[in-house]
Amino acid sequence: MKKLLRTVRAVLWSFIGLGGRQSDAERRTEQVGFLPLAIVAFVLVVLLVVGLVALARFAAGA
């Protein structure tokens, strides 16, 4: 569970672009691994898109 939270944190920091120094970002990536980062990033992007579509539909009153 702790590793999943670390992965989500690394992905969110990379989305926002406030990951700190490059060496910190590289260290987080090495700790987690590429495949888990890619999977979590994909899931978060899908959730973001679904959330934005739902918000747009709600705002449009549909």
**Residue 16, domain extent:** 2-60
Look at the chain and report how many structural domains it folds into.
1
Q: Is the pLDDT of residue 19 over 60?
A: no
Residues 6+ apart with CB under 8 A from 44: 8, 11, 12, 15
Mean pLDDT of the residues in the chain: 82
If you average pLDDT over each of 5-9, 16-20, 30-34, 47-51, which comes out highest?
47-51
Average pLDDT over residues 40-59: 94
